[in-house]
Amino acid sequence: MEPRQITLQIDHHFVTVPEGTTILDAAQKIGIDIPTLCHIDLKGTCIRNTPASCRICVVEVEGRKNLAPACATKCSDGMVVRTSTLRVMNARKVVAELILSDHPNECLTCPKAGSCDLQSLALRFNIREMPFNGGELSPRKREYTASIVRNMDKCIFCRRCESVCNEVQTVGALGAIRRGFNTTIAPAFDKMMSESECTYCGQCVAVCPVGALTERDHTNRLVEDLADPEKTVIVQTAPAVRAAIGEEFGLPAGTLATGKMVAALRELGFDYVFDTDFAADLTIMEEGAEMLDRLTRYLGGDKEVRLPILTSCCPAWVNFFEHQFPDMLDIPSTARSPQQMFGSIAKTWWAEKTGIPREKLVVVSIMPCLAKKYECDRDEFKTGGNPDVDYSITTRELARLIKRANISFTLLPDMEFDMPLGASTGAGVIFGATGGVMEAALRTVYELYTGKPLGNVNFQAVRGMAGVRRASVDLDGFELKVGIAHGLGNARHLLEDIRHGRNEYHAIEIMACPGGCIGGGGQPLHHGHSEVLYARANALYKEDAGKTLRKSHENPYIKMLYQEFLGKPMSEKAEQLLHTHYFNKSC
């Protein structure tokens, strides 16, 4: 049944909304932007935090004695709401001043400056002095992990990170502990995040309104490496970066900035600008071969083989199953992530071709992700202590660096990636959106399995933003069943099913972040606007549609790599350089 429509008045404007709508959403519908702080509701995804605790969004409702929080008050028929009376504005200002009274005055050096929601509110409410002194919370823990920096002095207890970590991702690493002035947000037993179940997905960082949770910054290190004439510094860019970097320079969400991004990286001084999409194509070759191998053995009656095969591109997802599902470490594909495949090939095949010694070669990755930073640090991806990928910086860090280097991003010409590691197909590009890895795999697996050319390469059924999606693909009479999950909470449901023998799939793609990498913890902040994520995904599908080659196995440089160096997928050399193994990390 359709919900009843009700009409109310907000600031002299009439608005009709379905029953159950909050004042906040009704106001938004008619362009009245009520300020919020603790509240976040990324519509169309599962990211929500609605505790109604900060009281920044209070409004006056006629006939009601107290001010009402707009985020939690439902509209009623005939309601009269005022969002900007003197009483409302004063109340909001006092609330903000009280929050500021216990917030460090470090805006000048805070990594969140310029994109901090609290700072924006202080500006918007015209706060020019700090009227409240006195009680301050005792100094809190600071922690630098490989991926995330935690500075709890700046925490305002909006609990967004806690909601995301517990309800959305079901990781359960962060929670509120103690009470009153001693409250803080921390892992169990006040341990370090590095000793907890944290997957470094970075979704807590993506929703933190202030500078309490930020990324581990490597830009200074990069500046030094770029200035070192002894070093050859090469870069790989993840698919999702090109669809989001433009936002940091005022371009609308969903602007494809591939060419300008390449130009900016050249301006910054990278010796070669390559593409992680190349390695994404390589991933499909290896993961696809593994999938076919397992499938053929399974259909041949081999009882040893376990299905479904799970993708392993997402490092936060890898951390998640290592911590939470140690009994199922043999199910995910052993294929390394594209980032690591790139590093491995760059420091072997490419380094040999160009004659650059490993120790003078610095491989940097630009990622939409925080878990990638941790992934670079994993011991199994090092040769004699030298990492395959030296370090990873986020889309946000790259944007800061471009600004720091006086580069006018929007005025740059479009440039092309360098060859051979910059060559990619459309299949590699869509890795950045949820469902993209599966779609790319299907394009290749279909042709390899059936031996026939694939007519329509667009698998619409695996696209979209639903948390869990399923699709069947006809492989010449064999019905291949695939599943897709994004967000670790959705992944957990699928994994619990598999654990209890209720599995209907042959293959499953999992991405830790809602929307896939386009919604990663290292991306420009969405500030609660989910349309930003949709626009980024569309941009990737647009880039894919515009490519001549759209199947990974048709990438000519991938073919060259196998001919010259690897032999064939899952060869001994490929196993050694492109595959990995997993560890039991349960607490």
Partner 1 sequence: MSEIKLPCDIIGKVNAICSEHGDDPKELINILHEAQHLMGYLPEEMQRLIAGRLGIPASKVYGVVTFYAFFTMTAKGKYPISVCMGTACYVRGSEKLLEEFKRVLGINVGETTPDGKFSLDCLRCVGACGLAPVVMIGDKVYGRLQPVDARHIIESLE
Identify whether the C-beta of residue 166 lies closer than 8 Å to the C-beta of residue 207: no
Instruction: Give the pairing of strands 478-486 and 468-475.
Output: antiparallel
3-state helix, strand, coil in the chain (%, to 5): 40, 15, 40
Positive or negative, the CA dihedral 125, 129, 130, 131 is negative
Question: How, if at all, do strands 361-367 and 148-151 pair?
Answer: unpaired
Cα 506–Cα 280–Cα 370 angle in degrees, nearest 5: 95
Q: Which stretch binds partner 1 (CB under 8 A): 6-14, 182-190, 346-354, 470-478?
A: 182-190
Which among 163, 312, 333, 365 is annotated as catalytic? Answer: 333
What CA–CA distance (Å, rounded) separates 527 from 36? 11
Does the active-site annotation cover 313? Answer: yes
Residue 72 or 188 having the CB closest to partner 1? 188
Of 189, 355, 456, 502, which lies in the binding site for partner 1, with binding defined by CB under 8 A?
189
Residue 187 near partner 1 by CB under 8 A: yes
196 part of the interface to partner 1, by CB under 8 A: yes
Does residue 375 have an active-site annotation?
A: yes
Q: Does 211 bind partner 1 (CB under 8 A)?
A: no
Instruction: Tell me how far, at minimum, the Cβ of 585 lies from partner 1, in Å.
Output: 13
Query: Minimal distance in Å, beta carbon 501 to partner 1?
Result: 19
String marking each residue 150-179 x if it binds partner 1 according to CB under 8 A: ----------------x----xxxxxxxxx
Q: Which is nearer to partner 1, 175 or 464 (CB)?
A: 175
Q: Which is nearer to partner 1, 113 or 587 (CB)?
A: 587
Catalytically annotated residue among 38, 198, 208, 313: 313
Question: Under the criterion CB under 8 A, does residue 186 sit at the interface with partner 1?
Answer: yes
Active site residue 161: no
User: Closest Cα to residue 516, out of 567, 467, 586?
Assistant: 467
Q: What's the Cα-to-Cα distance from 316 to each of 111, 198, 221, 517, rounded to whole Å? A: 23, 9, 24, 11
Determine how β-strand 478-486 pairs with β-strand 232-237: unpaired
CB neighbourhood size of 125 (10 A): 19
Residue 193 or 257: which CB sits closer to partner 1?
193
Segment contacting partner 1 (CB under 8 A): 143-151, 185-193, 334-342, 440-448?
185-193
**How many residues of this chain interact with partner 1, rule: CB under 8 A?**
18
Residue 80 binding partner 1, by CB under 8 A: no
Please state, in angstroms and rounded to a whole number, the distance separating the CA atoms of residues 462 and 466: 10
Q: Is 287 a catalytic residue?
A: yes
Which residue has tokens 């440039």? 415
Query: What b/e sequence results for 355-386 when a residue is b if at least 16 CB atoms lie within 10 Å of its CB, and e otherwise?
Result: ebeeeebbbbbbbbbbbbbbbbbbeebeeeee
CA–CA separation, 316 and 415 (whole Å): 32
CA torsion angle 424 426 427 428 (round to 10)? 40
Catalytic hit among 60, 215, 247, 290:
290
Amino acid symbol at 284: I
- Burial readout 451-475 (b: 16 or more C-beta within 10 A, e: otherwise): eeeeeebebebbbebebebbbebeb
Token couple for 566: 């690897």
CB 437 within 8 A of CB 313: yes
Choose the catalytic residue: 62, 195, 359, 380.
380
Q: Please, which of residues 212-271 interact with partner 1 by CB under 8 A? A: none
Choosing from 93, 112, 260, 372, the catalytic residue is 372
Instruction: Tell me the closest approach of the beta carbon of residue 182 to partner 1, in angstroms.
Output: 8
Instruction: Quote the crossing angle between the two packed helices 436-450 and 276-299, to the nearest 10°.
Output: 50
Comparing CB distances to partner 1, the nearer of 174 and 462 is: 174
Catalytic residue selected from 517, 530, 551, 552: 517
Shortest CB 324 distance to partner 1, Å: 10
Whichever of 161 and 241 has its CB closer to partner 1, that residue is 161
Per CB under 8 A, which region of 46-54, 180-188, 354-362, 557-565 contacts partner 1?
180-188
Nearer to partner 1, 190 or 224 (CB): 190
Based on the residue annotation, tell me whether 286 is a catalytic residue of this protein. Answer: no
548 vs 304: CA distance, rounded Å? 40
| Nearest distance, CB of residue 365 and partner 1, angstroms | 31
Least gap, CB of 178 to partner 1 (angstroms) = 5
Tell me: does residue 322 bind partner 1 (CB under 8 A): no
Q: Please say if 333 is a catalytic residue.
A: yes
User: Smallest distance from the beta carbon of 479 to partner 1, in angstroms?
Assistant: 35
Q: Which is nearer to partner 1, 195 or 224 (CB)?
A: 195
Closest contact distance (angstroms) between CB of 584 and partner 1 is: 14
**Which residue number, 187 or 338, has a Cβ lying nearer to partner 1?**
187
The residues pairing with 393 across neighbouring beta strands, listed in sequence order, are 366
What's the CA gap between 143 and 150, in Å, rounded?
5
422 in contact with partner 1 (CB under 8 A): no
Binding of partner 1 by 197 (CB under 8 A): yes
Question: Which listed residue (375, 397, 509, 543) is catalytic?
Answer: 375
Q: Pick between residue 184 and residue 395 the one whose CB is nearest to partner 1.
A: 184
Active-site residue list: 287, 290, 313, 333, 372, 375, 380, 517
- Binding site residues, partner 1, CB under 8 A: 166, 171-179, 186-190, 196-197, 587
